Amino acid sequence: MNKSDDPHTWLNEHGDYLYRYAMSRLHNDELAQDMLQETLLAGWKGYARFAGQSSIRTWLVGILKHKIIDYIRHEIRGRNLTEAVESDPTSAFFNANGSWNESPSAWKENPEDLYSSEQFQKTLELCINNLPEKQQIVFRMRDIVGEDTPTVCKCCDITSTHLHVLLHRARLSLRKCLNTHWFEKGTHS
């Protein structure tokens, strides 16, 4: 085994970078470590397929990216969420004329302060976990992991129109949940 195809070397040289990539998309250290381990092993097994057109790091990131998407898809499906039927919560937010039942309020807080708040992250995670299965999968892939829309459509085998419908529902429910559990709650201690 020479230096370039040794997973131990990959771990030493790219481990932190890959771990950071996984953490920033999964927000969970144990899970990020598992994904990194699987990525190094998969890379080692599949090294023959590495054509050397890109750097080892880019190639490993590609593997990790797929592992993360697969994880989100299977893990959330495996949870057997009670709300199997994808209801349309957006209809509950509007009256028969399509006007708001409950007026959205202006959020005064600064995104710079919120993203680094552990407390806010917890609230956000709680709200995301309340979403029905499909909405949760596409929202995590699109807005948390940051995949582009063609990738999400392909992974979930849905049309772009269906994706827009699901994201609209997910975002309005999250908006409402964050409003109730964070922005209108006042103190966050």
CB of 161 to other proteins, least distance (A): 10
By CB under 8 A, is residue 47 in contact with other proteins?
no
By CB under 8 A, is residue 182 in contact with other proteins?
no
Q: Which stretch binds other proteins (CB under 8 A): 48-56, 63-71, 129-137, 138-146?
A: 138-146
Q: Provide the 10 A C-beta neighbour count for residue 107.
A: 14
The only residue of 23, 31, 81, 155 in contact with other proteins, by rule CB under 8 A: 23
The only residue of 36, 61, 76, 141 in contact with other proteins, by rule CB under 8 A: 36
Do the beta carbons of residue 120 and residue 114 sit within 8 Å?
yes
Alpha carbons 120 and 111: distance in angstroms, whole number: 11
Q: Which residues, 6+ apart, have CB-to-CB distance to 153 below 8 Å?
A: 159, 160, 163
User: Can you name the residues that pair with 94 across neighbouring β-strands?
Assistant: 100
**Burial class for 98, CB neighbours closer than 10 Å (0-12, 13-18, 19+):** exposed
Alpha carbons 83 and 80: distance in angstroms, whole number: 8
The residues binding other proteins (CB under 8 A) are: 7-8, 11, 15-16, 19-20, 23-25, 27, 29, 33, 36-37, 40-41, 44, 90-91, 93-94, 97-100, 103-107, 111-112, 114-116, 120-121, 124, 142-146, 149, 160, 163-164, 167-168, 171-172, 174-175, 178-179
